[in-house]
Amino acid sequence: MPHNRDTFRDLLDQLPQPVLVTAAAQPFPVLWANDAGRALMDGHAALAELPEAEALLALAEDAAAAPAEAKEAVRGRLQGPGSDRRRWLDWTAQATRWDDGPAVRLVAVDVTRDMEAQRAERLLREALDSIPDALVLFDTDDTVLFFNKAYRDFFWYIPPLEQMRGRPFDDVVRLSLTPPRVVTDPLARTDPQAYIEKRRRRLHNPSPEPFELFTAEGRWHLVRERRTPEGRFIGIRSDITDRKRVEERLSQLVKELAESNRELEQFAYVASHDLQEPLRMITSYLQLLERRYRGRIDPTADEFIRHAVDGAARMQRLIQDLLEYSRIGRSGRPMAPVAMAAVLRQALTNLRLTVEENNATVVVPPDGDLPEVLGDPGELVRLFQNLLGNALKYRHPERPPVVTVSVAAEGGHHWRFSIADNGIGIDAAHFDRIFLIFQRLHGREHYSGTGIGLAIAKKIVDRHGGRIRVESEPGRGSTFHVVLAAADPLPPGIG
């Protein structure tokens, strides 16, 4: 018999679970323990000496008080021996006898991994419940594995996860068909089973790309679906109703703005075109009066007639400039590759007399260094003619004008053209104002023009999808930078 007992104890020593036998009274000294039990006690002689042993002591007391009754397992948390890591142990206590005396047998099972897994799952679920997107996961056998809080908010007819886990996909679809649900697919009303089969096919053949869906509740969802490598199905829905409403409103506003711009451009074109003839007649008769009656009435009359002639001439220039402004973009020509060498050549040809009259120097890169851009050649000539003309017009009174054109790559898909002059410059407070129509910074007695040249330049740049800006310092000159799309992508390493 002793031999059998020793064999039995040797077997217990092989178990990974701690086994303890203690006396049946406080402080529950340990009478015997297997190897795992001795490691757990870590040199302590009684249960009461273990840290945080209150629950274990209560369990041992219950077992000692009712020796004929086996106790249910209770969970106690003990510090693992020789480690800072907390361990979770499930203990079972039962009264027994040892050496003819009352005793308590305790067996522990380490459930730390299970507790940590449960805690990780709880944290993950809390995280998934906190996101606004609805998420659902179906297992390989098409049963419900998981869905988050947003999914239940989206699909309010779905019971809680605890009731749905393990239920087949067909049950989820059937729930969507019960009143007061309204499914827009006519098949759901005429043949519910065929509708369920249709939905199941989608489950096994998810859409490779996200798609938008308008629901029976009148809301927009962005749906993303995929199968995991293990064959599970993941579906994610995002409520994009607010975004869609904003997009629709913005689209409507853009249409209204485009229509308003078309009407304004049409009005400007018609008005400026139709006003030219009566204004031409008024100007002609005023000039006739000036020639015929100058000096024949009195000096005051001569001054009145001169002011009237000047005003009519200014009005004629304003109308012509307004007509030019309204014509930008009306050609409807598509953007095409344009050689900037030809554009600058034509602009300088148009300005040849102005350059000569001002004794100006205009420096442009060699033709071979000038790229091609996407644009309308006629409008690009007008753009650079206006910018070069401005540089010559607003010259510094104490030095001859020097204008330098340079080009550099920008961003790999654009070219930046810079027109630098040594003129009078512009105060930084007026950088935005100069691109508005009919905005002048100087009186007509100093500089001619209507103040529309830079507005035309900006409209041309905007139509080409580019950008225009100015850098300047009063008294030292200005540099206008124009960014235009390249006709072809720039080679790697450029820009």
**At which residue do the structure tokens 């293990």 appear?**
230
* pTM of the complete model beyond 0.85: no
pLDDT digits over 347-372, tens only? 999 999 989 988 999 999 999 899 99
Which helix (H) or strand (E) segment is 85 a member of?
none
Question: What is the pLDDT, as a whole number, of residue 113?
Answer: 84
DSSP 167-219: -BHHHHHHHHHSTT-----THHHH-HHHHHHHHHHHHHS--SS-EEEE-TTS-
- In this model, does residue 438 exceed pLDDT 60? no
Question: Percent of the chain at pLDDT above 90?
Answer: 33
Structure tokens at 336: 């095409």
Q: Who contacts 232 (Cβ-Cβ below 8 Å, separation ≥6)?
A: 137, 138, 139, 140, 145
Reduced DSSP (H G I as helix, E B as strand, rest coil) percent helix, strand, coil of the chain, to 5: 45, 25, 30
Distance CA 222, CA 243 (A): 11
- In this model, does residue 202 exceed pLDDT 50? yes
Closest CA to 181 of 214, 215, 145, 153: 215
180-189, 214-223, 255-264, 483-492, range with greatest mean pLDDT: 214-223
Question: What is the pLDDT, as a whole number, of residue 136?
Answer: 95
Tell me the torsion sign for CA atoms 490, 491, 492, 495. Answer: negative
Strands 101-110 and 86-98: antiparallel
pLDDT-derived band at 84, boundaries 50, 70, 90: low
Radius of gyration of the chain (CA): 45
Which helix (H) or strand (E) segment is 50 a member of?
none
